[in-house]
């Protein structure tokens, strides 16, 4: 893929003016250094020279320039790590620092995937203190719930601040796939592994309509198909990352080979284009619902629950029975069952007289094409 070029002006803003507005200081914030890797882009050599100015950095500057001239990807990465480590700092309420690597991949000229390595939960101090009248500090242990809540707030803050920078300084980007990963302990097997804890897909046009100054990071991210699971004690659980799939965004949609998760994202995208507000659910969601949509029309609107079935054979009747049960549980006004195949006669008979809509492959293909998606024809 060809490199993406930026003007020296824009790149300078990107690497040196990354200052998030001060109102974010009211959230839990930590003394942290965020390192972001941007690949692939072209950096003006004059900018490198201005960054590595001063006699003490002359040799380092010359080595960097020489390597980047030769197209050394590692040197480019190190340069950006250096820039962001020097320019991005959060205020601190205790002595701690974290290094966050966010690897950014340009999928096409208008879409990005950003995978962020977040700090683990044990980064949060286990103790808190209060200052006594004598001026001394009295320490006590935090509750498990308090630690979990602070960690939840830290994750959303980090993800949002990175997102804010990308939107501010990459105006040509239309969509960002953002996934936050952290080392965590498997709940049943006990081993440590890198889990996706937060994921969202941000449409920049929609972001521009939000007054971010009035909202906390999690509330902002919740507008963008946010996958972020935690229980009443704020214990965060693993989620499924949003993945950029060119077969949905740029290429022909092949309903025979599309993977189930991408199929759900496609249906959510289609419903949003049709005027509903639709989001995919977490894959741990009880009831088998894949997408939830809201229709604000006062007459025919309401809450819709959708199941997406990528089947080769006809959909059996037990699937639609499960959907009907989920409708009651969710107090939904309508249920929609969408498949890449067709429905059994028992399915059609069961849906009659109920607020359930069946969308088979033929009808789905028509809906996609009506909304400017390109669908591969079945041979």
Q: What pLDDT shows up at residue 250?
A: 53
Average pLDDT in the 283-287 region? Answer: 48
> What gap in Å lies between CA 269 and CA 310, rounded to an integer?
16
Which of 373, 375, 324, 371 has the alpha carbon at shortest distance from 350? 324
Give the whole-angstrom CA distance, residue 366 versus residue 18: 45
SS3 state at 307:
strand
Residue 204 exposure: Cα atoms within 13 Å on the Cβ side = 17
Where on the phi/psi map is residue 44: left (φ > 0), alpha (ψ -120 to 50), or beta?
beta
In this predicted model, what pLDDT tens digit does every residue of 125-156 receive, in sequence order?
Answer: 888 878 888 888 888 899 999 999 988 988 88
- At 55, the pLDDT band (50, 70, 90 cuts) reads very low
- Here the tokens at position 170 are 């990459």
In this predicted structure, what is the pLDDT of residue 57? 54
Ordered alpha helix ranges (H), 197-307: 204-207, 217-221, 246-249, 260-273
At 178, is the pLDDT very low, low, confident or very high (cuts 50, 70, 90)?
Answer: confident
Least confident of 74-78, 128-132, 298-302: 74-78
Residue 4 pLDDT level (bands cut at 50, 70, 90)? very low
Q: Phi and psi for 338 in degrees, rounded to 5?
A: -120, 135
CA pair distance 76, 42, nearest whole angstrom: 9
The pLDDT of residue 168 is: 65
- Tell if the pTM clears 0.75, that is, is over it: no
Q: Looking at the predicted structure, is the pLDDT value of residue 211 above 50?
A: yes
- Whether residue 333 contacts residue 302, with contact meaning beta carbons closer than 8 Å, is answered with yes
Map out the domains of the chain as residue ranges: 4-237, 246-370
- Most confident among 42-56, 111-125, 137-151, 353-367 (mean pLDDT): 353-367
Burial class (CB in 10 A: 0-12, 13-18, 19+), 203: middle
Least confident segment among 252-261, 274-283, 352-361: 274-283
Q: What is the CATH number of domain 246-370?
A: 3.40.1350.10
Highest mean pLDDT among 46-55, 146-155, 346-355: 346-355
Average pLDDT of every residue of the chain: 71
- Using pLDDT thresholds of 50, 70 and 90, give the confidence band for residue 65: low
The predicted model gives 239-259 an average pLDDT of 70
Residue 35 banded pLDDT, cuts 50, 70, 90? very low
Inform me whether the pLDDT recorded for 347 exceeds 80: yes
pLDDT at residue 295 in the model: 78
Q: Which residue reads 């429905």 in tokens?
A: 343
Most confident segment among 93-107, 170-184, 199-213: 199-213
d(CA 16, CA 11): 8
Over range 11-39, report the average pLDDT: 29
CA 166 from centre of chain: 13
Torsion-angle region of 350 (φ positive above 0: left; ψ -120 to 50: alpha; else: beta): alpha
pLDDT score, position 172: 59
pLDDT at 74: 53
pLDDT(373) > 60: yes
pLDDT at 294 over 90: no
Token pair in block for residue 17: 């003016």
pLDDT of res. 170: 55
CB 79 within 8 A of CB 48: yes
Is 275 in a helix, a strand, or coil? coil
pLDDT greater than 80 at residue 73: no
Percent of the chain with pLDDT over 70: 63
Decide if pLDDT at 337 tops 70: yes
pLDDT of res. 356: 96
């Amino acid at each position: 893929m060809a490199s993406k070029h930026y003007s020296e002006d824009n790149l300078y803003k990107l690497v040196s003016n990354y200052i998030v507005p001060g109102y974010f200081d009211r959230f839990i914030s930590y003394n942290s250094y965020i390192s972001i890797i941007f690949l692939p882009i072209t950096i003006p050599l004059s900018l490198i020279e201005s960054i590595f100015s001063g006699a003490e950095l002359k040799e380092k500057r010359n080595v960097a320039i020489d390597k980047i001239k030769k197209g050394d990807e590692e040197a480019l990465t190190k340069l950006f790590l250096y820039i962001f480590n020097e320019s991005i700092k959060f205020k601190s309420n205790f002595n701690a620092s974290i290094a966050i690597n966010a690897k950014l991949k340009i999928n096409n000229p208008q879409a990005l995937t950003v995978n962020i390595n977040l700090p683990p939960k044990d980064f949060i101090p286990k103790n808190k203190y209060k200052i006594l009248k004598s001026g001394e500090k009295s320490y006590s242990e935090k509750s498990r719930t308090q630690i979990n809540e602070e960690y939840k707030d830290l994750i959303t803050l980090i993800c949002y601040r990175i997102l804010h920078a990308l939107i501010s300084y990459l105006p040509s980007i239309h969509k960002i796939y953002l996934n936050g990963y952290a080392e965590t302990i498997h709940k049943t097997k006990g081993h440590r592994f890198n889990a996706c804890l937060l994921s969202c897909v941000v449409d920049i046009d929609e972001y521009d309509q939000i007054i971010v100054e009035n909202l906390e990071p999690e509330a902002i991210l919740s507008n963008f198909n946010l996958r972020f699971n935690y229980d009443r004690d704020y214990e965060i659980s693993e989620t499924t990352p949003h993945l950029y799939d060119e077969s949905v965004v740029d290429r022909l949609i092949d309903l025979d080979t599309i993977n189930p998760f991408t199929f759900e994202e496609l249906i959510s995208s289609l419903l949003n284009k049709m005027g509903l507000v639709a989001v995919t659910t977490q894959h741990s969601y009880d009831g088998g619902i894949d997408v939830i949509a809201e229709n604000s029309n006062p007459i025919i609107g309401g809450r819709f629950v959708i199941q997406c079935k990528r089947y080769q054979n006809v959909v059996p009747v037990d699937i639609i029975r499960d959907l009907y049960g989920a409708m009651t549980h969710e107090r939904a006004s309508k249920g929609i069952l969408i498949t890449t195949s067709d429905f059994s006669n028992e399915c059609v008979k069961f849906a009659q007289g109920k607020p359930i809509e069946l969308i088979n492959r033929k009808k789905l293909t028509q809906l996609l094409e009506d909304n400017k998606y390109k669908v591969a024809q079945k041979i």
